[in-house]
Structure 1
Amino acid sequence: MIKFFSVLCLAFIFNVNALTAQNFSTHQVKKGETIHGIASHYGVTISDIYALNPDAKKELKANTILIIPISKAKKTEVVTTQELVGYKEHRTNRKETLYSIAKQYDVTEDDIKKYNTFLYANTLNKGDKLQIPVFKITKEEPKAATKAYIVKPKEGKWRIAYKFGITVQELEDLNPGMGETLQDGQQIYVPNKGGEEVKEVDEKYSYYNVLPKEGFYRLKIKLGLEQDELEALNPELKETGLKEGMVLKIPYTNNLNVAGEPVAKKTSLESKITNFDTKHIAVMLPFRTNRVHFDSISHIKSSIKKDPYLDASLDFYTGVLTALDSLKTLGISLKVDVYDTNYQVSDVLRILKDNNFKDVDAVIGPLTSETFEKVASELRAYHVPVVSPIGTNLTLYDNVFQSRPSDDLLKDRMVNFVKADSLEKNIVVVSDTKNEAVANSIKTAFGNAKSVYSRKGKTGNDLNFIYVEDIRSTLKPGRNYVFLETQSEGFVSNVVSILASLNSGSTEIILVTSNFNAAFEGDQVSNDHLSKLQLHFATTSKSYSDNGGNSFVKRYTQTYNTTPSKRAVKGFDLTMDVVLRLTAAKDLYMSVNSAPLTEYVENKFAYKKKLMGGYYNDATYIVKYQDLEIVEVK
């Protein structure tokens, strides 16, 4: 037994000496360590470790001894620079050589020759006068591999990993104790990129976490994107290729749980009411009651018909009132102030001056852009949230909530929806001159898309029609997506009629538009044709189901003896959302995190914050014509 122990000790000593001689080291694995972290710590590759420790590929157990090839570690040298600041004169003595002179002045022989060019062609002789360069030596330490980073609000691991061009696993290896979720203000370590710009997350795109063994072919099947399309969005792919765990920017999609971040789930705020304090809201609408003739019912009706702002305001306000009744039944106490802005900035200023808005929890309205801008800017100092019912492209002050998704967002959602179709497809864009810029942007998004433009008259004006052959020649057997971009009812009727006649046999045509407008709903346009072509479009709201089971529709109809318009539904949905968010969170701002997605009768709300500004609604619907109805595309 003693002999066996002695041999074992000698073998261990021999192995350690052998490792030392070959510039290797050993590492005892600690609990929770990863092969990525160990390789990073020693400056070697994972392959280097696996080459000497093949069992580590199967499982990395705590207390396992790994052999680390230190000789392969990447060394970072100190960078030395020298700057010429002057000369010293030297007269050569007998027996002196360039080598001895260079050593005496701590320069190189090449340095001496450079400033005494006669030495390139002649030997050094006694009595030669030399200029010896004097340098200012600067030594630069290599920059640190990592630096401290403060986590920003709403930043998860994948967002930070994407910013700095690493995988989530590599981020975790740099921060072993960072925890499962990151906290606002938490300090972690990230790669030190020096002056190189970090990438920013663009909310108009989605992000995908590359899985093990996924190559470009698998991503094409899953995402419907070619390698060149992925490389265009992620230029670093051309150098690095695909790596497991890397985060890729891809066109927006609702279909994938990308980058390991959960898809927002709809929150029912009625079950989350925790704050029963009285909520104070203000509603500001352009009723323009000073223009209404109240002397008779007929005059009142006439005033409403003649004034579109009064008509819109009353419609919206009936939805607000219905919501207030519903909120009271939930036990919510409300103080509601209603103001007539008269569609005048001067009236808005008077209202703000004559009333105390400091304690208002939220303002809904005004409807028009100029009056809304004035209210938002004036109440910004009090941090009072101001919610726009219908405005788009607003100045997003930090207290602004834009409830209507922008037209650009709708266009992007439609383009990305078509891109997400993994089947082989042909793209055609039909447009008139007015929408040529939109058509070109769609063509750019798809690359190989074909264009068809409205026929023109002798003066270059649009005639708002095309011939069958104009579009037949652009179609292919199989699936064809045809974008129709116009605000002309006649052009829509013409194109839809032609496409419906060509949609048969081996040619499947799906009609889409980035801007659904009144032209598609005109009397000249056949709903049968739109259904046959399955017209798809992105919209801010969907149509409610009129099956008698909707409590809002039932209550509204009983009160006003008519079915609610879309403006009335928006008034109801928006008021319900604003007040319920106030009762389920500390304030409207905090509700953005606690209730990422809410949905009511026709509208849904998923507010996102601009980096340096306010909040915009990111929630949209994709709908289509089907059997003479407009239905949501799930």
Structure 2
Amino acid sequence: MKYLIVICLFFQVLSTAAFGQAFKYHTVAPGENVFRIAQKYSISQEAIFKYNPDAKNGIEVGAKLVIPVEEKMADTNAPVSFQSHKVDRKETLYSLSKEYNVDIEEIKKYNKQLYSKELQKGEIIQIPVFANVDVRVEQPKAPVSSPSRTVVQDKKTREHIILPKETKYGIARKYGMTVKELEDLNPTVNVLQPGIMLRVGTDVLDEPVIITTDAFRFYEVQPQETLFSLTRRFQVEKDSLMALNPALKDGLKSGMILKVPTKDARGRELNDIAEEPIEREEVDVINATLENRLTNFNTKNIVLMLPYNLNSLRKDSISNSKEVLEKDRVMRISLDFYSGAMMAVEKAKKLGISTNLRIFDTQQQASKVAGTINSNNFNDVDAVIGPLLQATSEEAAARLSNLNVPVISPMSNRELRSLPNLYQARPSDDMLRDAMITYLQEHSTGKNVIIIADASSGKIKSMLMDALPQAKIVSPGAHSINEGTLGNSLVKGKENWVILESGSVALLSSVTSALNRMARANQITLFTTDKNNSFESDVLSNEHLGRLKFHFPSEYKEFDESGRDNFIDAYKEKYGYIPNKYTVRGYDLTLDVLLRLGAAGSLEKSVEANFLTEYVENKFLYKMKPNGGFYNDAVYIMQYNNDLTLSVAK
């Protein structure tokens, strides 16, 4: 039965991926019939009957009909074609909108990179052409003959006489402009000289704009930079940065000129320590239930890229499908993840957030990812979830970085490349290890700490010794522990915390068995920074781990099957079986992305807000990597209980 459901789901994926069809539900209202509903959505009655064959026998009030959105007639507001335009020097969105008689927002809509950066000379952009609109064919531009002719003709301006020591940065900052806007208004002024008159904006900042000390300098905000990234770059608190730059109260904008410090608290030049870890107080984490913070209810455009490996499946053969599914673990994981993601889309819709979801098969190949992105329009995409593997995730992020489309890697626990739009949703093994070490540091005071690490765990042993200098060291043999030596390290009447680091099943079994016997007369709690596959061996006794209150770091917590959970109950009712961790991750991650978009407008803004979110099994706290990109810093410390259940450690 399970295979039948998965196969049906698989062909649903196949259909969606192959044709890119999108659908929505319509609830039949009193007085409606098929004809009126078809008119409402500008589709044919046959299209409704195709996806709702029972509707031929009549429809009832309250019934739900599947409406094929992609088959509706062309939107009268949609462009009928596009015209390529090569950006020339001094051109702006304003001048292009006048030249082509198109709104600036329409140009941005089909060139999404322009939401986060300025036009670049030589850049090719697409100008939408609408019906019944005269498109001006681009003609060679006459040279500028007079400084009075500027691109920004309609902008209100005033005169400014350049003072000694003034710079373009300082003047632009004083009048609330970008350097580019200042240059556009004064195309003939290349070098500033005292006494020269400039055309400037009318918004005047009432404070000095000449920097007379080397403690500060001017800085031009780059595309995609945020307040959070700037506080990290210049090692200054948000409040201090805003005090230095009052204009920030109206929001950060690309091209804005800011006054920033040149040295850190130790007196070191900031440029010289850009690659060093930044030591600063963390921004307060907001433990957020985003359902209560939703403000943006626009339809979210999401792309799901997973390795379904459709090329290995014959559509006309159920037996072939079952055989492929049995052999292809990656395909099974992808289908499980997909089923959870679909449940998340349904959940978000109930909260008022509709989703336009597109599905692509990556086939576990970076070249397939590149081809998919090159042959499809990603300009309006709010986020890409997937691909699963490191190489394909990095390929997708690299290809979409110019559009600033977030790519969320859902499964990889390897350290990913530092790409500005790449989000690593699963904490890496190093993050898990560091979280466990931090937990031990914070809670081991007054405990008798013992470290047991074999020869292959020398690196983590050194890290533990540095973090816990009071700890005792017990060196094991290759496959067993000397019980006498281990017993002498324990202290009766005191909590004994034993940290076990090894990948050897034999050694793990020997240590846990010995500790279990000694726990009859001692208080012992067992820890590890790496719960590797050897801990899952049948040779190890779960009863022993339960009695030892075994603690380990994890990127997820297992839900309690005996408890009540809306998602688990809904999934069991729909599919007939309990979801696995990949299904739950698909649900948690997809719902988190949709709710972050609904609460903050973009994933990057949700990072600035420092939202900590938690769902069925997973939690998310994204932080910015020093060299670009984001990682999920939310880790669970889990523990075994005597009844062999798992719980989050206190």
TM-score range, shorter chain: 0.5 to 0.7
Give matches, 1:404-483, under 5 Å.
404-421=426-443, 423-456=445-478, 464-477=479-492, 478-483=494-499
Counterpart of 1:79 in structure 2 is none
1:467: Cα distance to partner?
2.8
Counterpart of 2:615 in structure 1 is 600
- Contact 2:336-2:580 within 8 A present in 1 as well: yes
Counterpart of 1:336 in structure 2 is 357
| Distance in 2 separating the partners of 1:203 and 1:596 | 26
Three-state SS of the structure 2 residue aligned to 1:523 is coil
- Contact 2:216-2:262 within 8 A present in 1 as well: yes
Q: Counterpart amino acid of 1:400?
A: L
Q: Counterpart amino acid of 1:529?
A: H
Aligned length: 424
Report Cα offsets for 1:422-471 as digits up to 9, x if no partner.
Answer: 63223222233332222222222222433334424xxxxxxx22231242
2:398 counterpart of 1:377: yes
| Distance in 2 separating the partners of 1:176 and 1:308 | 55
Counterpart of 1:532 in structure 2 is 547
Report the aligned-residue RMSD.
Answer: 3.6
Three-state SS of the structure 2 residue aligned to 1:530 is helix
- Contact 1:282-1:362 within 8 A present in 2 as well: yes
Counterpart of 1:559 in structure 2 is 574
Counterpart of 1:280 in structure 2 is 301
| Distance in 1 separating the partners of 2:515 and 2:317 | 52
| Distance in 1 separating the partners of 2:233 and 2:265 | 13
Three-state SS of the structure 2 residue aligned to 1:378 is helix
Three-state SS of the structure 2 residue aligned to 1:482 is strand
- Contact 1:485-1:513 within 8 A present in 2 as well: yes
- Contact 1:145-1:191 within 8 A present in 2 as well: no
- Structure 2 vs 1, CA of residues 494 and 594 (structure 1 numbering), >3 Å: closer, same or farther? same
Counterpart of 1:87 in structure 2 is none
2:519 counterpart of 1:503: yes
- Contact 2:286-2:609 within 8 A present in 1 as well: no
Counterpart of 2:509 in structure 1 is 493
2:422 counterpart of 1:400: yes
Counterpart of 1:40 in structure 2 is none
Counterpart of 2:410 in structure 1 is 389
| Distance in 2 separating the partners of 1:285 and 1:294 | 19
- Contact 1:278-1:334 within 8 A present in 2 as well: yes
Q: Answer with 1 or 2: which has the greater Rg.
A: 1
- Contact 1:145-1:192 within 8 A present in 2 as well: no
Q: Counterpart amino acid of 1:378?
A: R
Report Cα offsets for 1:145-180 as digits up to 9, x if no partner.
Answer: 96569799556999899x69xxx9xx99xx899999
| Distance in 2 separating the partners of 1:582 and 1:607 | 14
Counterpart of 1:570 in structure 2 is 585
- Contact 2:614-2:620 within 8 A present in 1 as well: yes
Q: Which 10-residue stretch deviates more, 189-198 or 388-397?
A: 189-198
- Contact 2:275-2:626 within 8 A present in 1 as well: no
Counterpart of 1:315 in structure 2 is 336
1:535: Cα distance to partner?
0.9
- Contact 1:267-1:595 within 8 A present in 2 as well: no
Q: Which 10-residue stretch deviates more, 494-503 or 430-439?
A: 430-439
- Contact 2:284-2:610 within 8 A present in 1 as well: no
- Contact 2:232-2:278 within 8 A present in 1 as well: no
Q: Counterpart amino acid of 1:360?
A: V
Counterpart of 2:177 in structure 1 is none
| Distance in 2 separating the partners of 1:194 and 1:364 | 41
1:529: Cα distance to partner?
1.4
- Contact 2:309-2:364 within 8 A present in 1 as well: yes
| Distance in 1 separating the partners of 2:384 and 2:304 | 6
Three-state SS of the structure 2 residue aligned to 1:473 is helix
- Contact 2:558-2:646 within 8 A present in 1 as well: yes
Counterpart of 1:618 in structure 2 is 633
Q: Counterpart amino acid of 2:299?
A: T
1:279: Cα distance to partner?
1.2
Give matches, 1:96-245, under 5 Å.
147=216, 154=227, 187=259, 196-197=268-269
- Structure 2 vs 1, CA of residues 480 and 182 (structure 1 numbering), >3 Å: closer, same or farther? farther
Q: Counterpart amino acid of 2:539?
A: Q
- Contact 1:623-1:633 within 8 A present in 2 as well: yes
Q: Counterpart amino acid of 2:456?
A: K
2:544 counterpart of 1:522: no
| Distance in 2 separating the partners of 1:270 and 1:548 | 22
1:624: Cα distance to partner?
0.9
- Contact 1:292-1:300 within 8 A present in 2 as well: yes
| Distance in 2 separating the partners of 1:177 and 1:360 | 33
Report Cα offsets for 1:117-162 as digits up to 9, x if no partner.
Answer: xxxxxxxxxxxxxxxxxxxxxxxxxx9796569799556999899x
1:328: Cα distance to partner?
2.0
- Contact 2:283-2:610 within 8 A present in 1 as well: no
2:321 counterpart of 1:300: yes
| Distance in 2 separating the partners of 1:193 and 1:264 | 24
- Structure 2 vs 1, CA of residues 197 and 390 (structure 1 numbering), >3 Å: closer, same or farther? same
Counterpart of 1:111 in structure 2 is none
| Distance in 2 separating the partners of 1:318 and 1:410 | 27
- Contact 1:285-1:366 within 8 A present in 2 as well: yes
- Structure 2 vs 1, CA of residues 388 and 160 (structure 1 numbering), >3 Å: closer, same or farther? closer
Report Cα offsets for 1:69-101 as digits up to 9, x if no partner.
Answer: xxxxxxxxxxxxxxxxxxxxxxxxxxxxxxxxx
- Contact 2:229-2:624 within 8 A present in 1 as well: no
Structure 2 length normalisation: TM-score?
A: 0.59
- Contact 1:431-1:484 within 8 A present in 2 as well: yes
| Distance in 2 separating the partners of 1:203 and 1:329 | 45
1:414: Cα distance to partner?
0.9
1:616: Cα distance to partner?
0.6
Report Cα offsets for 1:331-388 as digits up to 9, x if no partner.
Answer: 3221111111111122222211221112211101110111111111111111111000
- Contact 2:263-2:269 within 8 A present in 1 as well: no
- Contact 1:204-1:409 within 8 A present in 2 as well: no
1:363 to 370, 384, 387: 384
Q: Counterpart amino acid of 1:312?
A: I
1:273: Cα distance to partner?
2.0
1:297: Cα distance to partner?
3.5
Three-state SS of the structure 2 residue aligned to 1:441 is helix
Q: Counterpart amino acid of 1:349?
A: A
| Distance in 1 separating the partners of 2:387 and 2:380 | 18
- Structure 2 vs 1, CA of residues 180 and 535 (structure 1 numbering), >3 Å: closer, same or farther? farther
Q: Counterpart amino acid of 1:579?
A: L
Q: Counterpart amino acid of 2:556?
A: S
Give ranges in structure 1 of 5+ residues lacking alignment. 1-142, 208-258, 457-463
